[in-house]
Structure formats: C-alpha cells, structure tokens
Amino acid sequence: MLRDVCSVRFSFFAWFGALLLSVLLAGGAGAWWLWAPSTLTQPVAEVSIEPGTSPKEVAAAVARSGIPVNASLLYLWFRLSGQSRQIRAGSYEWSGQVSPWEILQKLVRGDATSGSVTLVEGWNIRQVREALRKADHLKPDTVQMSDTQLMQALERSGVHPEGRFFPDTYTYSKGSSDTAVLRRALRAMDSHLAAAWAQRNPKIPLQSPEQALVLASIIEKETGKLSDQAEISAVFHNRLILGMRLQTDPTVIYGMGARFDGNIRKSDLATDTPYNTYTREGLPPTPISMPGRAALYAALHPAPSKALYFVARGDGSSEFSATLDAHNRAVNKYQRAP
C-alpha cells in the first residue's frame, strides 16, 4: 500500500513538474516574442487606424503593413495586456526594427504621425520635389540630389522619375526622410499600375504597363473633367491604331521645359523634341506628369468611340469629333468665336 501511495505521489509530482516546466518555457517563449525586435520587410511600415476599428482589425492591419508579426498572436497580446481598448485612432509609422511590445505601446500612447504631404494629380517631378522640400518636419535628404541620383537612392537606377509616384496624401513621423515618402509613393504607383494593367481592355493597342503610364499621364494633363477622360483616351487609342500622330499640346509643353512661358505658338509645335507629338509618331519616351487612379483606368479602358479629334469648350469639357470637318467646325465655334 505504501509503495502504491509513493508511486501516486511521484506520478503527481512528475506531472506537476512537467506542467510547471511547460508553463515556464511557454512564459519564457512568450516574453522573448514580446521583446524580440523584428526587421521590417520594407523600409517603412504605415498603418492608418480609423475610429471604431476593433483590436483584431488593428492587429491584421499591422501584420499587412510590412511588420513580420503573426496577426493572431498580436491580437492575443493586445487582449492579454488589458490595453486593447486603449488603442487610439491615427496614422502610425515604423521603421528599422520593432517588437510586439513596442507596437502596442505606440498604439496606446497615440504616438501617431505628425505631418503629411499631398502629391497632386498632374504634377511633374519638379512640383513633387518642391512640395517635399516645403513639408513640415520632413528631412530633406533628396534636396541636393539630381533626378538620376534620386532614382538611384530609390533603387530604380536608369528609370526616369516623371510619373513614377502616385498622387495621394502621405503621412509621416517627425524627422522622417523625404526618401521614405517617395519610396512609398513609388510603390503605390507600381501597385496601382499593375492592378490597372491586369484589368485592361484586351483590345487596346498598348503593349506594356509603361505605355499605359505614359498615356495616362497625357490624359491627366489634357483634362480635369473625369467624365471626359475615357473619351480622350479613345481619341488617342484611335490615332495610335491608325498611325496618326497624337498632336497633344501638353507633351509639347513638357518638351519645352523652362522655355514655356504660358503660351504655345505655331513655332513651338514645329520645333522637334522627343516629346513633340506633332513632329513624332507614337507615345513620348516617358510620362509627362503623375496620373491618378481615374486616368490610369481611362488609359486602359477607352470609351467605345470613333472620335479622332477634340477641342476645349472653355468650360472644362471637350467637344469630340470623328472627322476633320466636324473638328474644324467645333474649333470655329469654341476657339475662334468673337
């Protein structure tokens, strides 16, 4: 009997010891996970939390942002910490390395980003760089760089910077580098262009996403009226199919550079540059501005139209024509009327 009791006690202590060891190991592993910093999968991870977002949704957003953390474990940590309901809405940014402990502390403190800069549809690279230079609390690391050096810093050597950044509002933490903002805008354009190209009309003559970006940049400059963009796209597509020159003024103006004084003359239309679509066939060699989402869509989904010409009506909209005679009548009506 005594032997049986001792055996039971030994079994109990052995079981309890194993359980205690498991708890200690689990606790140690949990503590290590909480404090262990992980390197981001991209230079900057950005998370925007709207009011009313649940802790589970916050954890999922953090995991999607580029921080290599398990969303379920992070949500569990939020709950076990007792601070899940203290997470504040706002725009947050992380760089370098970060641990789950640091993630929660930042979200609870409400240590959100302190600045923002808006890049506008139709801007060129000079305007983009000027906006970054004037942005509050943003480190001007690229100010002294040439466009070539800028693209090298963004790991896009040999790529022209025009049109490569997606127009949007970008938030950042105080002291962040303008390089980080540009890198995010570059990735955003890559993403939007890839998505638009994947859903393109298969009948269009464009051969690559690059051509789509160039055409979208022209459409963006030709009109600010969204309802006209698909029709303008149709004009350019129809001309490309027929081998006609695009003859679009914004490309000529872009090719003039600093020579443009606000007026475009007949001599400018006749002066050949790589961007003069009156003297050269096809698309220009690079984009001429930053196209927005609508212009990207229009470039890849032209309206079902036979129009080959358009002229501004003077109210922001355009008159479209399928023949030169009709176009000349529209020009006389809207451009030459007393």
Residue range 122-133, pLDDT digits in tens: 999 999 999 999
Average pLDDT of the segment spanning 248-253: 95
d(CA 155, CA 142): 14
pLDDT digits (tens, 9 = 90+) for 34-54: 888 888 888 888 887 877 889
Which tokens go with 234?
């149709």
Compute the distance between CA of residue 222 and CA of residue 93 in angstroms, rounded to an integer: 36
Task: Read off the pLDDT of each residue in 101-118 and give the average, rounded to a whole number.
Answer: 84
Closest alpha carbon to 200 in 181, 183, 217, 213:
213
Residue 69 C-beta-side C-alpha neighbours within 13 Å: 33
- What CA–CA distance (Å, rounded) separates 279 from 319? 24
Give the model's pLDDT for residue 337. 54
Supply the DSSP string of 153-218, one letter for each residue.
HTT-TT---TT-S--SEEEE-TTEEHHHHHHHHHHHHHHHHHHHHHT--TTS---SHHHHHHHHHH
Q: How far apart are the C-alpha atoms of 292 and 306, rounded to whole Å?
A: 25
* Section 296-308 average pLDDT: 96
Residue 262 has what pLDDT? 84
Angle (CA) 82 85 86, round 5°: 90
Task: Please provide the DSSP assignment of 284-295 as one string.
Answer: -SS-SS---HHH
Q: Select the highest-mean-pLDDT range: 112-116, 157-161, 172-176.
A: 157-161
The pair of three-digit structure tokens given for residue 332, joined into one six-digit string: 């006389």
Structural class in CATH, domain 33-112: alpha beta
Segment 144-158 shows an average pLDDT of: 95
Beta bridge partners of 205: none
Residue with the bigger pLDDT between 261 and 197: it is 197
How far CA 267 is from CA of 21, 24, 272, 312, in Å, comes to 86, 83, 10, 21
pTM of the complete model:
0.72
Domain ranges, ordered by start, for the chain: 33-112, 115-195, 199-334
Give the separation between CA 172 and CA 113, rounded to whole angstroms. 5
In the numeric block, which tokens belong to residue 204?
Answer: 């269009």
